[in-house]
Amino acid sequence: MRSVRYLQKFLRPSLRCQQVRCASSATNYDYNTYIAANEPMYNYGPDSKERKQLEEVLDKYRNKTEDIPIVIGDEEFRTKDVRYHVMPFDHQKKAAKFYYATPEIIQKAIDNSLKARKQWAKTPIEKRAEIFMTAAEMISKEKRMDLLATTMIGQAKNIWQAEIDAAAELVDFLKFNCQFARDMTSYQPLSPEIDTVQNSAVYRGCEGFWAAITPFNFTAIGGHLCSAPALMGNVCLWKPSDTAMLSNYTVYKIYREAGLPPGIINFVPADGPVFGDVITKSPNLAGVNFTGSVRTFKTIWKSVAQNLDSYISYPKLIGECGGKNFHFIHKSADVTSVVVGTIRSAFEYGGQKCSACSRMYIPQSMWPEVKRKMLDILSQIKLGSALDNTVFLSAVIDDKAFKRIKSYIDYAKDSPNLTVIAGGQCDDSQGYFVEPTLIETTDPQDRIMQEEIFGPVLTVFPYPDDEYMKYAELATKTSPYALTGAVFAKEPKAREELVDAFQDVAGNFYINDKSTGSVVGQQPFGGDRLSGTNDKAGGPYYLTRFVSMQCVKESKVPLETWMLPSMK
């Protein structure tokens, strides 16, 4: 089996072996500990081998419309509700044709998964890990360019953003999750009186099925939200985003080719409200793994609450819902670091990252220099097709995003508190293009400083230099989100004060660095408040949400008396 060979390449044996009692039986399975390492990245230079390989694969997809079915078990379904996934930078071109599942088909997917669950739950964890480590190897090697190409074409990512996401981060999720699963399940409870009592822990998947509802902006998140519960012995319905259909289907096919049995992850494109209604009404819902909007997550949560009396177990809800992320600058900050870090955080991938910087607070004395340098960089940034190697950012994802972002820019143009000082032009005639837009505000509590835009729009408030703590405190109360944030300060006292001030308003916090770019295994990701449940994907404790631990006590000596010691 190819997965065994790939597993041996990826796993680094430790000096010791540990025993884990798997849920499949009372048998103990011995397997080596291993340590994951982050996936190396290519640079795709002009004459590089990887650039040439990618160009060849792009040619395979750029003029093709992929037909993507609903997949349940080993069956493919195509309904009359046909949809198209268009290229955001050239919306007349259809990247994929897909089909919305009906309520009956969604229910069929649930039933199919539940049938597959029993055997999958009995599969030892190291065997499940073999499959996902095989998938990681495939993505790292022979399927890498396919994932980059489908992500670039379908989600308008340039080469570098696609490499970060579809290759490196997805491989990291799969590899580190296998390590974390191994480490997590190594714990066994104490048995102080081993001759008379044996205590053990069984790490079971949750009873029922999981639903993974995934976003457009990261191919890696799509592949991760469905594979994480599956690794831990669960079955899952994967509802991909309409605007990430091409790359997500590519990931799904890789999982199946890597050895994932039918029915463990069922691929179910569907209308969001229809899918949500069917899964939340099922008594077998074990949990929802979600990344998307606050409104959608609240709707799911309310639906679960309304159906609470019908469930076999309380469903687990995991949510990551975006943010209104900030850069707070102190007068001692390094100017170049502020300029470059803020440009990259705010405008890479058109600000369509949950962690993207959307508001900046800066001392009034620094703002003229920082503004001049930011304007200089913005004048050099090229906007265009994601397939153009010289493009820094391409189109936003679809017409809905375009209209939403444009509405904020139009609001800024009409507001007496706001001044558009760069960008501000929007054009959807060919693609959904929005220029990187820089806005200055005189009101630090304007709605544009509070609401998530999810586009290439950055609003800056210059504050009086010596009142940094006053405005830091204000910044902590301005937005209902708490996902990412950064402070730039070299002065030790100011740095300490600002770090303390922002303690509760960022699940991922950066000091003298941009608010984007978390790496699996290095900065586990997630936030509080309306940003989500902060379960920290990419960290060692995330997978605990997908197990239902059973503690077993086995007595080796029979009980002989009913009388209590105190009764003697």
What count of other Cβ atoms lies within 10 Å of the Cβ of residue 88? 29
Among 289, 85, 293, 307, CA closest to 206: 289
Task: Please provide residue 468's backbone torsions phi and psi, each rounded to the nearest 5 degrees.
Answer: -65, -35
Residue with tokens 């910044």: 475
Largest CA distance in the chain: 91
How many angstroms from the chain centroid is the CA of residue 413?
33
Q: Has 39 been annotated as catalytic?
A: no
Q: Rounded to a whole number, what is the distance in angstroms from the first to the last CA of the chain?
A: 64
Q: What is the DSSP letter of 39?
A: P
Q: What is the DSSP letter of 206?
A: P
- Do residues 44 and 160 touch, judged by C-beta distance below 8 A? yes
Q: How many helices (H) and strands (E) does the chain have?
A: 16, 25
Among 226, 227, 258, 230, CA closest to 240: 226
Structure tokens at 401: 């995003």
| Cα–Cα dist 68/59, whole Å | 19
Among 285, 279, 284, 235, CA closest to 260: 235
Structure tokens at 219: 């191919």
Q: Are strands 484-488 and 325-329 parallel, antiparallel or unpaired?
A: parallel
| Cα–Cα dist 237/111, whole Å | 11
Task: Please provide residue 190's backbone torsions phi and psi, each rounded to the nearest 5 degrees.
Answer: -70, 145
| Cα–Cα dist 214/248, whole Å | 9
> From start to end of 206-352, where are the E strands?
209-213, 236-239, 265-267, 285-291, 316-320, 325-329
Among 23, 67, 74, 4, CA closest to 265: 74
Catalytic residue among 130, 320, 435, 452: 320
- H/E element, 218: none
Among 67, 243, 44, CA closest to 163: 44
| Cα–Cα dist 345/156, whole Å | 17
| Cα–Cα dist 128/116, whole Å | 14
Catalytic residue among 354, 426, 435, 440: 354
Q: Has 320 been annotated as catalytic?
A: yes
Catalytic residue positions, numbered: 320, 354
